[in-house]
Amino acid sequence: MNVLMPSPRLVRAALPALSLAALLVAIWFVQPRAISYFGFNLMLNLAMPIAFATIAQLCVITVNDLDLSIGAFVSFVACVGATWLNATPLLGVAVLLGAVVVYALVGALIHLRNLPSIVVTLGMSFFWLGCSVLLLPSPGGSAPAWLAALVKVRTPLVPFAILVSAALALVVHVGLMRSAWGAILRGAGGNPVAVARAGWSLLRTKVTMFALAGFFGVLSGLSLVGLTTSADANIAIRYTLLSIAGVILGGGEFVGGRVSPVGAVLGAMTLTLAGSLLSFLRISPDWQIGAQGAILIVVLALRALVNRLERRR
Amino acid sequence: MRQSAFSRLADWSAERPWLWSFVGAGLIFLATIAFTSGKGGGDVLTAALTFATFYVIVGIGQMFVITTGPGNVDLSIPANIALVGAVAMKVMDGSNAMIVPGLAAVAAVGLAIGCFNFALIRILSIPPIIATLSASFLVQSTAIAYGRGLRIKPPPVFAELATGRVLGVPILAIIAILVAAAMALVLRRTVYGRSVLAIGQNARAAGLAGIRVARVRFATYVLSAVFASFCGALLAGFSGGASLNMGEEFLLASIAVVVIGGTSVAGGFSNVPGIWGASLFLYLLVTMLNTFGVGAGVRLILTGLIIIAVIALSGGRRPGRG
């Protein structure tokens, strides 16, 4: 290998940004006018809730679990946001706090009984869906005015959604990748036995990460209901798969606590923009999920290639 | 003497983890007919046998996949069912003569999805969850584009096969019992089945012992996809046509019946009878809650909580990621 070739590690880290850039170039090529403040505002409208949901999923994946209930949970939060939070704000806030506690308890249960997270969170997805159906049997409700105003704020130069996503990526990056606490939390996914031997409580790390997932899930649901102003029980069901795809797209390794918050947010944006590109290309929205799957596969294939080159070296 | 009888009973049931799913199903059935004071017990049982069939078919495929070790799970089942329902109805086109070509198409789609799943796992060397998830995105999109607005009824003979009864027992249930019996033999008595169990217990040891690990995994993913495909075709035949969301509930159901049936999520230990017990349990649970007259919301909440409770009580023996 020659010296000009960047290190595989760098290439891997740059992949999420490169795939987003490739997508942007493609959009610019097809529809140059979309690359503007107004265009980004429209296209990335829904990037905010998806980015929050992706970070929630990232927290769970960090400790070697998988959350298949995040979509149902975000829907539930949106339903609470469109009903109780508007009518009786105190009750609404209490319910959302309670929901975060439930998330933490699920983490504790998974750890204490050593349960498969897939099954437990699938069960929880039924639980949240049931709660949403009880709360909002048919689509409707209305988001609090302050919430709608907050998420639709028009910031100068750069659209609000991009600012929030960047801030989110930065905060989680510093917290998880650059702090001592973050190292322990990731270590609990990388080598649980070592972390436990070093005297840290694995129960506490798992509860922390699940509680954080619940917290970001709440932010996702609130930003979503602020944008849509009404909710229904199935509003965010696709977020479950989308969030997993976002984390993996962003360079998350799925086992061993190897995650990348910045990559995950970029991944969420890539998946959001994929839909816009399709509509610019006048391809039926039927293929939107398929395009997201194809992007995922292409990026994973590139990563596999980089890994293979690295091994050959 | 009492003591030893008890411990013998405990040993006996510990070797048969599937027992509990049947006990649970039986208790729920009794609770249901106690509520209706004995009325409609036969109907509930027939319906349970019919609906459990679909769970059993996808559950067996999923069980083989889960048995091959931690992290192995097939998430493409719902998309698979949606696509195959549309393909089966289009190829059969309501004509009895086209049933066999239709079923051949079903098998071909299942084979293709299974191969695609495994190709992703193998070539991209990514975890099966991500591979089958990405594959399911593509399959789901194909199903939406291909099956939109499809209103073709199944051929009469095929519909009769899916809804008919022999001596009061649904034909589907008879087929599923035979399939389950055959697959139990495959798991316990064939080289392939023993290899699946061995890989699940220790893939490295199995490989060193000469088992072609990749080949067995490949066969397992194809098996799961083909089973899901046939379930999709039968489901379309049963409900008088294909719909795009008819596979949705099978994501949870396929995994839940495997786990409730006493199969270890960490892999390497599984059993086929438990799939039947758990399928009956899941269906009867919903029936019971309906009979009690609870609304959709409460029913979903209780279904979720009961599944978690069952797993919390039964699972968690072996470490491993699931």
Q: Highest mean pLDDT range out of A148-152, A225-229, B1-5, B165-169?
A: A225-229
* Cα torsion angle, A22, A26, A32, A34, sign: negative
Q: What domains lie within chain B, and their CATH numbers? A: 19-31+39-314 (1.10.3470)
| Helix, strand, coil tally for chain B in percent (to 5) | 75, 0, 25
CB pairs under 8 A between A and B: 168
Closest Cα in chain A to B248: A237
Work out the minimum CA distance from A283 to partner chain B, whole angstroms: 11
pLDDT band at B318 (very low <50, low <70, confident <90, very high): very low
Cβ-defined contact of A284 to B124 (cutoff 8 Å) = no
Residue of B nearest to A256 (CA): B321
Query: What is the chain A residue with the closest CA to B144?
Result: A286
Assess B111–A contact: CB distance below 8 Å, yes or no: no
Overall average pLDDT of the A235-243 stretch: 88
- Give rounded-to-5 percent helix, strand, coil for chain A: 75, 0, 25
CB distance B71–A255 less than 8 Å? yes
Which H/E stretch holds residue B166? strand B165-166
What domains lie within chain A, and their CATH numbers? 37-304 (1.10.3470)
In chain A, the residue whose alpha carbon lies closest to the alpha carbon of B315 is: A115
B30 token code pair: 């009794």
User: Closest to B141 (Cβ–Cβ): which among A115, A286, A304?
Assistant: A286
Mean pLDDT of A224-245: 89
Whole-number pLDDT of residue A5:
62
Contacts of B125 in chain A (CB under 8 A): 304, 307
Mean pLDDT of A175-195: 87
Which chain B residues touch A289 with a CB distance below 8 Å? 137, 140-141, 144
Q: Do A123 and B311 touch (CB under 8 A)?
A: yes
Give residue-wise pLDDT tens across range B78-108.
999 999 999 999 999 888 889 999 999 999 9
Rounded distance between C-alpha atoms, residue B294 and residue A256, angstroms: 43
Does B167 reach chain A within 8 Å, measured CB to CB?
no
User: Considering only alpha carbons, which residue of chain A is nearest residue B302?
Assistant: A127
Contact yes or no for B303 and A126 at CB 8 A: yes
Cβ-defined contact of A127 to B300 (cutoff 8 Å): yes
Q: According to the model, what pLDDT value does residue A1 have?
A: 45
Mean model confidence pLDDT for chain A: 88
- Percentage of chain A beyond pLDDT 90 is 38
pLDDT digits (tens, 9 = 90+) for A35-71: 888 888 888 888 899 999 999 999 999 988 889 999 9
Q: Is B302 on the interface with A (CB under 8 A)?
A: yes
Burial B214-249 (b: 16+ CB within 10 A, else e): eebbbbbbbbbbbbbbbbbbbbbbbeebbbbebbee
B146, B83 contact by CB (below 8 A) = yes
Kindly determine whether residue A115 and residue B322, on different chains, have CB atoms separated by under 8 Å.
yes
Contact: B300, A126; criterion CB under 8 Å: yes
From A309's Cα to the closest Cα of chain B, the distance in A is 13
Q: b or e along A29-46 (b: 16 or more beta carbons within 10 Å of the residue's beta carbon)?
A: eebeebeeeebbbebbbb
B73 touches chain A (CB under 8 A): yes
Residues whose CB falls within 8 Å of the CB of residue A283, separated by 6 or more in sequence, listed in order = A291
Among positive and negative, which fits the CA dihedral A98, A101, A107, A109? negative
**What distance in Å separates the CA atoms of residue B268 and residue A55, rounded to the nearest whole number?**
33
pLDDT band at B315 (very low <50, low <70, confident <90, very high): low
How close is the nearest chain A Cα to the Cα of B308, in Å? 6
Residues of B in contact with A65 (CB under 8 A): 321
| The pLDDT value given to residue B85 | 92
* End-to-end CA gap in chain B: 41
Bridge partners of residue B170, in order along the sequence: B165
Per-residue pLDDT at B320: 41
Q: How do residues A281-306 score in pLDDT, each as one tens digit?
A: 888 888 888 888 888 888 888 888 88
Question: Which of B127, B141, B317 lies at the smallest CB-CB distance from A290?
Answer: B141
Backbone torsions φ then ψ of A231, nearest 5 degrees: -135, 165
Q: What is the mean pLDDT of residues A93-105?
A: 96
Give A258's pLDDT tier (boundaries 50, 70, 90).
confident
Per-residue pLDDT, A19: 87
The rounded radius of gyration (Å) of the Cα atoms in chain A is: 20
A288 CA: distance to closest CA in chain B (Å)? 7
Helix (H) / strand (E) containing B170:
strand B169-170
Question: Smallest CA–CA separation between B81 and chain A, in Å?
Answer: 16
Query: Taking CB atoms and an 8 Å cutoff, what residues of chain A touch B301?
Result: 126-127, 130-131, 134
Beta bridge partners, B165, equal: B170
Give the chain A residue whose CA is nearest to the CA of B73: A118
What is the distance between the alpha carbons of residues A51 and A272, in angstroms, rounded to a whole number?
A: 9
Name the residue among A115, A293, A300 with its Cβ closest to that of B126: A300
- Region B124-145: what's the mean pLDDT? 89
